[in-house]
Structure 1
Amino acid sequence: MTVSPQWVQFLSLQNFRCYEALTLEVDQRPVVLTGENGSGKTNILEALSFLSPGRGLRRAKLSYATNLNHAEKGWSVFSKVWTGSDREDIGTGLTNTESGDERRAIKLNQTAISQIDLLEMLSIFWVTPQIDQLLTESMGTRRRFFDRLVTSFIPAQGQHLYRYDYALRERSRLLKEGGGDAQWLSILEQKMAQEGMAITSLRHIFLSEILPLIEVSVSGFPQVHLSLEGVVESLCLEMSALEAEERIEALLRESRGVDARLGGSQIGPHQTQVQFFHVERKKFAEFCSTGEQKALLLSLILANCRLHRKSKNRTPILLLDEVVAHLDQERRETLYTEILDLGVQCWMTGTDQKVFAPLGEKAQYFYVQDRKAVKQTMKVE
């Protein structure tokens, strides 16, 4: 079956971060953005990340992306994106609800769509200096990253996570206030058990698909093993799904007193441990060097791109912010080879154009300065 490439052809920013207005026209090749630190390279990648669900690669409050000189106008991002043989107009921007809450409006060809609709049609992944440290940060950060990969592959996961989180927060509120309506509490625990099992099931489906791809090393990148550990995972191994669901519901009911004192819930998929294991070093990721952790993460991201190409017959858009310069030459060249072989439109940032030299004319180059992005050619020395 033919693989459908996904790539951005046109990008326009209005009142976004440092840009009052910026337009970029590119082709299907990888895009390299160079310039001094603070010139606005990451802001362009952040704008692209808003073509996917959520709060973008910085995970900041939506209003923080507004250009300070025009704070009253909000911000917008408009793009022309190829998804296979079709070109779509995708726009998004900050808007306010009647209650004054921030939200992000999304339009496809001038028609309003949901974030789930956006996820169904477009896959975008990124690695930033912040996400690059997720293997040493809290388990919650690692779990969110993993669930984002799952949701990009199985969009229904997003709804299960949303419904589970709502039930979890509502139950926590009731317990904090003294228990409230016992019947409503039981309904919430039943919902948590149902959604928790669905979340765990989809996590394992994703894991079964990606493990064969990440356990085969690409030259220059390590083999990775991923595993999930927790009460829900153990119950799934010991009994049927229905029995596990009933057991989780019973455990939640029994733990009301403890959860009322400690807050939240001590049982559920929000407590799952996501473990990354370096196969060659025989070490868990948290005990690996910074360079090894970076390589593990890139192995996973590249495997995820291969998974989408293999199972969804489409190539995602990849955003790498200040990642390439920190790789040794062998891994850097391997990364470029993988990007080109996969046919991915990868947007990369850096301060030194020379580190991208192996890409030659197979990439396109822009220099970012004074809130402008000027097209360049690769300088050959």
Structure 2
Amino acid sequence: MTEFRTAQLTRLSLTDFRNYATLTLPLSSTMTAFVGPNGAGKTNILEAVSFLTAGRGLRRAALADIARKDGDGGWSVAATLLLDGLETKIGTGLATGTSGRKVRIDGEDVRGSESLLDYVRMLWLVPAMDGLFTGPGSDRRRFLDRLTLAIDPAHGRRVGDFETALRQRNRLLDQGGSDAYLSALEQQVAELGTAVSLARTETVDLLGRLIEGQAAEDQPFPHAAVALEGAFESEMAGMSASEREDRYIRMLADGRARDRAAGRTLNGPHLSDLKVLHAAKAMPAAQSSTGEQKALLIGLVLAHAELTAKVSGMTPVLLLDEIAAHLDPNRRAALFSKLVSLGGQVFMTGTDTALFEALPPTAELFEISDRTGRLVRGPDAP
């Protein structure tokens, strides 16, 4: 995948972030593993990196909760990034006494984190996602929206605006708002909701076709079949964007009495679900074994990394928390080989250096302890 643009972080600095008063790591490899005991702060480093792109970070934590307990209430993450042979300095954080995240690129304040997507795309896999297929549909929608954001930078803001418009409609229904106000708001809900649904559908379709194209290849993880399902998708099947908007507006108007009684909007893309099957077994992922579910999820993220590169022209950075812990040695080696072939930068965590014995010689391994990081393996290791 070397034909795609590849962003590489060459330096990472944290200030008052989680358990770190300060931490600076020089990064000289495209594959880095952070190893240390539970609670040392390995995942905190991945979370810090995840804030160098659009969104709320891999934990979706409140910004104020990220600040170090003994700090002044603010925090920052800064990095030097190499892209197209040029160095760019990017940073983000929370200033003491404020509530919104600040973003800077080469020392200049920019509005919104979406600007970071011009420099780096990011995907992640964390243990909290292990129950994705058996958990609530909201988790799968959030997962799908993250995948969509990686290839459509405007998607995150559309989803946020759509959810805000829905909440406003629900409030108006509860307060007995006038038909004129409701009609105007439902127009907005329909426009935003249709755009959100179409973007999700396109991502699922593209991902499904890419995975189908890999079916004959020897992949280290099982193939998945994916689909976007729900009453809204069934209702809108085969319609153009404008037809969907018109139909959605009518659905909202016709459903006012029902939605008012329920206290929420009972139909729309906010209730859609990502369905995943173990393709070889034609079995819902939720009914697969725990090990198969983990393998399916890894396979989905790896496939989407390829899709992101093909659609955006930029290979994403991958953040893989405790990725190797439950894989046998052969599958770990196959995973590392696949990650190398993807061509992007990868950050991983684990509790045991033995989990990363199969990493290529150019990979770096940092030992994380006592809120510090020490390079113990890699081209620049002492």
Give the letter for the 1:295 counterpart: A
Q: Distance in 2 between matches of 1:360 and 1:149?
A: 28
Q: Report the equivalent of 1:119.
A: 117
Q: Could you tell me which residue of structure 1 aligns to residue 67 of structure 2?
A: 66
State whether residues 220 and 330 of structure 1, in contact with CA within 8 Å, keep that contact through their aligned partners in structure 2.
no
1:1-381 to 2 correspondences below 5 Å: 2-70=3-71, 72-95=72-95, 102-113=99-110, 114-177=112-175, 179-215=176-212, 216-217=214-215, 218-377=218-377
Q: 254-263 or 18-27: which moved more? A: 254-263
Distance 1:106 1:132 in 2: 31
TM-score (norm. length: structure 1) = 0.94
Q: Are the equivalent residues in 2 in contact too, given 1:225–1:278 (CA < 8 A)? A: yes
Tell me by how many angstroms 1:280 deviates: 0.9
Report if aligned partners of 2:205, 2:227 keep a CA contact under 8 Å in 1: no
1:238 to partner: Cα distance: 4.2
CA distance in 2, matches of 1:295, 1:261: 43
Alpha-carbon distance in 2 for matches of 1:231, 1:107 = 42
Q: Give 1:68 shift.
A: 0.8
Instruction: Report deviation, 1:234.
Output: 1.9
2:33–2:347 Cα contact (<8 Å) kept: yes
* Counterparts of 1:105 and 1:169, CA distance in 2: 26
1:127-176 deviation per Cα after TM superposition (whole angstroms, max 9, x unaligned): 11102221221100110110111111011222321221121010011111
Distance 1:48 1:189, change over 3 A: same
Distance in 2, matches of 1:233 and 1:328, equals: 39
Greater shift after overlay, 349-358 or 118-127? Answer: 118-127
Q: 1:73 to 1:245 in 2, by over 3 A?
A: closer
Deviations 1:306-327 (CA, angstroms, capped at 9, x unpaired):
1122232221111111121111
Give SS of 1:32's match: strand
Distance 1:243 1:308, change over 3 A: closer
User: Are the counterparts in 2 of residues 52 and 123 from structure 1 also a CA contact under 8 Å?
Assistant: yes
Preserved CA contact (<8 Å) 1:13 1:20: yes
Q: Which amino acid is the alignment partner of residue 157 of structure 1?
A: H
TM superposition shift of 1:121: 2.7
| Superimposed CA distance per residue, residues 29-88 of structure 1 (whole angstroms, 9 cap, x where no aligned partner) | 200110111111111111001112222111111111111111x24111110012232211
Distance in 2 (CA, whole Å) between partners of 1:373 and 1:75 is 19
Taking a change above 3 Å as real, the CA distance of residues 35 and 95 of structure 1, as seen in their structure-2 partners, is: same
User: 8 Å contact 2:34–2:350 — kept in the other structure?
Assistant: yes
Instruction: Answer whether contact 1:214 1:299 (CA < 8 A) is retained.
Output: no
8 A Cα contact 2:332 2:358, kept in partner:
no
Find the aligned partners of 1:263 and 1:134 in 2 and give their Cα distance: 27
CA-to-aligned-CA distance 1:343-380 (integer Å, 9 cap, x gap): 121111001111111114131011001111001027xx
Aligned Cα RMSD in Å?
Answer: 1.6
SS of corresponding position for 1:221: coil
Q: Which amino acid aligns with 1:41?
A: K
C-alpha displacement of 1:241: 2.9
What letter matches 1:207 in structure 2?
V
Whole-Å separation in 1 of the counterparts to 2:50 and 2:349: 14
> Cα 1:310–1:242, aligned 2, differ >3 Å: closer, same or farther?
closer
CA distance in 1, matches of 2:244, 2:13: 49
Separation of aligned partners in 1, 2:49 and 2:208: 28
Retained in 2: the 8 A contact 1:34–1:350?
A: yes
The question of whether the paired residues in 2 share the 8 Å contact of 1:197 and 1:232 is answered with: no
Distance 1:11 1:241 in 2: 43
Unpaired runs of at least 5, structure 2: none
**What is the CA distance between 1:278 and its match in structure 2?**
0.6
The answer to whether the 8 Å contact 1:4/1:85 transfers is no
Structure 1 counterpart SS, 2:243: helix
Q: Which amino acid aligns with 2:45?
A: I
How many residue pairs are counted as aligned between the two chains? 373
Contact persistence 2:166–2:265 (CA under 8 A): yes
Quote the sequence identity (%).
39
Which residues of structure 1 form unaligned runs of 5+? none
Work out whether residues 200 and 232 of structure 1, in 8 Å CA contact, stay in contact via their aligned partners in 2.
no
| Kept after mapping to 1: 8 A contact 2:10/2:81 | yes
